[in-house]
Amino acid sequence: MSEKLRDESESEPGVETGETALLPLPFPENVMRLPSAERGEKLRVLEALLFAASEPLGEDMLAEHIPEGEDIRALIEEIQAFYVNRGINLVRTAGKWAFRTADDLSFLLQRYAVEQRRLSRAALETLSIIAYHQPVTRAEIEEIRGVVTSKGTLDVLLETGWIKLRGRRRVPGRPITYGTTPAFLEHFGFDSIDDLPGLGELKGAGLLDSNLPPGFAVPHPDDSEELGEDEEPLEDELTAGELADEIDEHFGEDGAESEEGVST
């Protein structure tokens, strides 16, 4: 019996039999595709940074923690693919990357969510106009809405961090122009301002009448940091208090709307 076992073992692949040596079997395909230890370490570093960050991280910031010349987008997309069917997903928001709870599991966390103040209709309309028509002045907002816009409404939107003071329009009176911020994109889950719903989507959601006037089109917003040709920068020496006083002066005492700025 022992002689038979010895003879069979000597004929196994990869074991020398006399002067002949058989080649070992090739590695399985999945093993050959495993990333190198060096690449795996880079993925671990990026995953740790994204997991621990309190806010979305840009690719430039992430690239500072791995060797120069590495394809940072390819590494991020590899992490994104790994988490695609898991409880958290890696998503791109406002041009940056962050882990977010999977959409189909968000209901599990509703009881733990901090309830946000709900914007009034006046604030939502104002925010929508600023988002689509930016850069836009208060007078232009009022012309589109058809009612006077109160300082309180704009104050609420400024406090949330969703809109900002961009500059001044190059017209008599030099009115202040408004635009949206990256915090606006992050809160509403947009990667860029171009992700705002278009005409077809707004109709489908019932937000626009199907019988629109001929030639009606949704404006193309521009949230670029650079001021337009018809804008000039705010005065550097203008303090926050002075700016608030100037806004008050623009609104006057009778500029309040009938709607509440915020409802809970």
Q: What is the CATH number of domain 31-112?
A: 1.10.10.10
31-112 and 118-263 have identical folds: yes
Range from 28-32, 58-62, 89-93 carrying the lowest mean pLDDT:
28-32
C-alpha neighbours within 13 Å on the C-beta side of residue 250: 21
C-alpha neighbours within 13 Å on the C-beta side of residue 142: 14
Residue from 93, 97, 54 nearest 73 by CA: 97
pLDDT digit string (tens) for 182-206?
A: 889 888 888 888 888 877 777 666 6
Q: Mean per-residue pLDDT for 208-222?
A: 71
Mean pLDDT: which of 3-7, 48-52, 111-115, 211-215 is highest?
A: 48-52
Q: Mean per-residue pLDDT for 7-34?
A: 46
pLDDT digit string (tens) for 141-183?
A: 999 888 888 888 898 899 989 999 999 998 888 899 999 998 8
Residue 223 in tokens:
């949230």
pLDDT on residue 196 = 86
* Helical spans, DSSP H, in 11-71: 29-32, 37-52, 59-63
Cis bond before residue 135 (omega within 30° of 0): yes
Is residue 176 within 8 Å of residue 165, measured between CB atoms? yes
Q: Which residue has the tokens 């500072």?
A: 64
CB neighbour list of residue 248: distance below 8 Å, 6 or more residues apart? 151
pLDDT on residue 5 = 44
Domain regions of the chain by residue span: 31-112, 118-263
Q: Considering the domain delimited by 118-263, tell me its CATH architecture.
A: Orthogonal Bundle (1.10)
Is residue 151 within 8 Å of residue 123, measured between CB atoms? no
Mean pLDDT: which of 42-51, 211-220, 238-247 is highest?
A: 42-51
